[in-house]
Amino acid sequence: MNKFVATVAMGLMAAGAAQAEVTEDMLANDQSMTNQVVTNGMGRHLQRYSPLDTLNKDNVKNLVPAWAFSLGGEKQRGQETQPLVYDGVMYITGSYSRLYAIDIKTGKELWQYDARLPEGILPCCDVINRGAALYGDKIIFGTLDARIVALNKDTGDVVWRDKIDDYKAGYSYTAAPLIVNGLVVTGNSGGEFGIVGSVQARDVNTGDLVWERPVIEGHMGTLNGEESTMTGTLNATWPGDMWKTGGGATWLGGSYDARTDTLIFGAGNPAPWNSWLRDAGQNNDGSGDNLYAASRIGINPADGEIKWHFQTTPREGWDYDGVNEVVAYNDRDGNQRLATADRNGFFYVLDAADGGFVGATPFVKDISWAEGIDENGRPIFNEANRPGDPSKAADGKKGEVVFASPSFLGGKNWMPMAFSQRTGNFYVPSNEWGMDIWNEPVSYKKGAAYLGSGFTIKPNYEDHIGSLKAIDPDTLEVVWEAKNDAPLWGGVMTTAGGLVFYGTPEGEFLALDDETGEVLWSFQTGSGIVGQPITWEQDGEQYVSIISGWGGAVPLWGGEVAKKVSYLNQGGLLWTFRLPKELAAAN
């Protein structure tokens, strides 16, 4: 059986057989409904900010463990989930496409679901899962074989399941789904295998596909089972037939800006990595942008039509995916803005109305591939830092090697930043590293890696790789920086109590002063943290949860950095902390 049913009866008794359903209104107001967390990002705008201030700078030192939950077994690897909390139950996903329901008062398991994964799955960057979605009486999550599954949230029974795409071609899925107006919206993974990135929307009650929007130009969208419109213009920015295997995976999922009724998804690297093979684009002069890869894309949630796009790395050739989350917020003057910290090392502010460029600044040091960003938001390329064309090499097998910074794992990778409504600043987990990178000949073969590049990642500094940075989006200045020896690979959360929570690969779960970066509290969790913290209130007390379990892309792809952190142990433990009522006022 793919579900442990022995605990279901106990779970129903503990959680109650007739629990309330999650509504669209609850999703829309998740940030202000502080007794729950029913969306990834603690709000579909992905601000990861809580208005709770019971826990604050003065009393955070009194935060203590309430309970811990082990994922058990030998299926460890990276644990990157964000918990959800609703009606007395916490839901988490685990590595190898598992989902757990846990009693939030006791930490006891109510039920567990294990997906039946076939042989031959092709996950790029560990067997992780970043979370689930709640709606009605369902809990919905994706699996490593590129499927999406809806379970009854009270029992764990399968309600419906559907196929996102063909795992044998390299497709997979690891992000938390996004639910808007009765549609469950997903992206896809597999950019290293020459797949085609797309966004799909299904009826949340039936799983039926409503629309699909490919994000590589030349591909046709669908609406209600019929062809709708083509993405972009065929061969406007792609040479020949390369658009057919153009990459652009939408692997991190998206956000929803209710102010403009817009879904915002990011598209990953174009395929293959060897940019010289994709170079004959719009003017046949080396200026092919390969749209809409390495871009942020605004989509109409009703029909999947593209409203706007903003490309962060045209003619991308370093694996600088454009998938990093786009956070909807208002600046200090009340302007409706979007912000994103790109793999390419630049932090961008966009106009929420149309995705138009407002400003950008480097958020990591030593960026080598571009000299800056021009007034239109386009990078000013450093052509000498483009990996060389292998066709011009003496042996035709390896182009000129360059040292590029940041590395292909990015100035910021998947790990989500947070915005504080209290300070007006963003808190960005970043890494200071570079890479030797070169291009090689490559041709597409279904289910095989489609890179055309080789690489070795190296630290840029001896005293740190990771760096949590507070960034003022109005002035585009770094306010403070908290350095860390190992790379940062987990999410960040801010609170109205003036706190910034995040974890490190060394296992420390930390609370910092949001204005100064001073460490106010820490707890050793026993394994590296690559998960995402949440907070909520329960029985008049404030709680905080984080999952601990080292893994993700760094130990698999990290080169010299992987050796630096090879001593870190895997794990799988969900920690939940509380501030006791009697200590809430203690200084």
Condensed to tens digits (0 to 9), the pLDDT of residues 366-390 reads 999 999 999 999 999 999 999 999 9
**pTM of the predicted protein model:** 0.95
**Alpha-carbon torsion angle 416, 221, 294, 313, nearest 10:** -140
In angstroms, rounded to a whole number, what is the distance separating the alpha carbons of residues 141 and 469?
A: 31
Tell me the HSE value of 457 on the side-chain side, using a 13 A CA sphere.
Answer: 26
Residue numbers annotated as active site: 319
CB contact set of 71 (below 8 Å; sequence gap of 6+): 79, 94, 95, 98, 100, 549, 572, 573, 574
Return the structure tokens found at 545. Answer: 């949860």
Domains for the chain: give ranges and CATH numbers: 3-583 (2.140.10.10)
CA–CA dist 399, 439 (Å, integer): 5
Look at residue 266 and give its three-state secondary structure: strand
- Asked whether the beta carbons of 51 and 494 are under 8 A apart, the reply is no
Let me know: does 324 contact 266? Beta carbons within 8 Å: yes
What does the angle CA 430 – CA 558 – CA 494 come to, to the nearest 5 degrees?
25
Q: Residue 140 contacts by C-beta under 8 Å, 6 or more apart in sequence?
A: 132, 133, 134, 148, 149, 150, 151, 177, 179, 184, 204
Instruction: Please say whether the beta carbons of 458 and 478 come within 8 A.
Output: no
**Those residues with Cβ within 8 angstroms of residue 218's Cβ, 6 or more apart along the chain or in another chain:** 230, 231, 232, 233, 234, 235, 238, 243, 244, 246
What is the mean predicted confidence (pLDDT) over 492-516? 98
Give residue 284's pLDDT. 42
**176-233 pLDDT per residue, tens:** 999 999 999 999 999 889 999 999 999 999 999 999 999 999 999 999 999 999 999 9
Task: Between 120 and 480, name the one with better pLDDT.
Answer: 480
Provide the token pair at 415: 């790990």
Rg (alpha carbons) of the chain, rounded to whole number: 22
User: What whole-number distance in Å separates Cα of residue 389 and Cα of residue 401?
Assistant: 10
The whole-angstrom separation of Cα 453 and Cα 397 is 10
| Range with the poorest average pLDDT among 78-87, 136-145, 157-166, 281-290 | 281-290
Given a cut of 80, whether residue 2 has pLDDT beyond it is no
